[in-house]
Structure 1
Amino acid sequence: MAFFISLLKDWKWPCIAVGLSVFMLAAAHAFETFGNLAPCPLCLRQREVYWALIAMTLTGLALWKIVPKRRFLVALNVMIGLVFGVGVVVAFYHSGVEWGIFPPPTGCSGEGPIDPMAFRDFNEPMHVPSCTDAPFYIMGLSMAGWNGVISAFMAIISFVAAGATFRGAASDQPG
């Protein structure tokens, strides 16, 4: 358990969070490229959360290197947790659209897949995959559902990391 907590203290969790975000984006791209699963607009919205987290965290780590204050790392870990929380909300909404709980947003018409490599007349409208149709389910959850579970887990770990970094500041004090 001490090893796990040591991975969450200081600058380590923000670096792990960036790595996990890059992995999630790579996995989504692999499903798109190798699995031939074109993303719907809500799928792309879920990816934006990871891109935002990467940009925010790398900027935060760069600023922390300039002014290395522990409380800044605590705040960064809390912000990472909040961004992952936004990922949970977006994934929950997408899952709700797939299950018919929420109405799909405008632009999720489901007019068919988009082939970005196909030569076409640019005056012709593009076809967008449907946000209501999940390509597959694993243990009752779609890809959006699993993204929500992963985001929730990473949000919780981020808040635990903030606490571990904060408590690390107290234990580093002499006396």
Structure 2
Amino acid sequence: MRRLLILAATAGSAAMMLGALGFQYIGELPPCKMCYWQRYPHVAAVGIGILALLLPGTALLYLGALAALITAGIGLYHSGVEQGYWEGPTTCTSGPIGDLTPEQLMEQIMGAPLVRCDEIPWELFSLSMASWNAVISFGLACLWIAAARCKD
């Protein structure tokens, strides 16, 4: 049973990543900065899941739960920014300037898609992608914890 729970949690994070990439490249919905933040813990959870299938013990399982809870928390924070409950990061659509000339900077600004963290580009049943990430990731954290507590 433990192995099945680990597989389900790992596959869940992998599916979330595939979904995010599908929205980005097939649906042509470029992610904002906070969308990227939500992806990193899912990638970590997939790696943790692979290791947990190979190595005994429960420490990796709780680490997987932590990764899922981190992305859920970021998703919840992002949802609050989208709904206007609190302010998001001021750097949500900017990046480092470096040694660009004013003309190069203007060209970079004009060529980049404007993706704001406080706008909802897609929703289903009144939940944005960030909200869905939070809900599903909390469920994945429960799977990780159930795997850790499983006695088989």
> Which TM bucket (shorter chain)?
0.7 to 0.9
1:20 maps to 12
Check whether the contact 2:9–2:143 (CA below 8 A) recurs between aligned residues. no
1:44 maps to 36
Q: 1:81 aligns with which of 65, 85, 103?
A: 65
Higher RCO (C-alpha under 8 Å, 6+ residues apart) = 2
Distance apart, 1:122 and its partner CA: 5.3
> Which residue identity does 1:75 align to in structure 2?
A
1:104 maps to 88
| 1:47-87 CA distance string (max 9 Å, x none) | 1111121233334444x1xxxx4xx1x22222211111111
Structure 1 position 145 matched with structure 2 position 131: yes
Separation in 2 of the partners of 1:122 and 1:53?
Answer: 38
> Which residue identity does 1:86 align to in structure 2?
I
Separation in 2 of the partners of 1:144 and 1:82?
Answer: 18
1:31 maps to 23
Separation in 2 of the partners of 1:84 and 1:23?
Answer: 13
Gaps of 5+ in 2: 95-102
Distance apart, 1:133 and its partner CA: 0.4
Gaps of 5+ in 1: 1-5, 111-120, 169-175
Separation in 1 of the partners of 2:83 and 2:72?
Answer: 16
Check whether the contact 2:68–2:140 (CA below 8 A) recurs between aligned residues. yes
TM-score of the superposed pair, with normalisation by structure 2: 0.81
Q: CA RMSD in A?
A: 2.1
1:160 maps to 146
- SS of 1:32's equivalent? helix
1:122-137 alignment to 2 at 5 Å? 123=105, 124-126=107-109, 127=112, 128-137=114-123
> Which residue identity does 2:11 align to in structure 1?
G
TM-score of the superposed pair, with normalisation by structure 1: 0.71
Kindly, what percent of the aligned residue pairs are identical? 30
- SS of 2:123's equivalent? coil
Separation in 1 of the partners of 2:62 and 2:139?
Answer: 14
Separation in 1 of the partners of 2:143 and 2:9?
Answer: 10
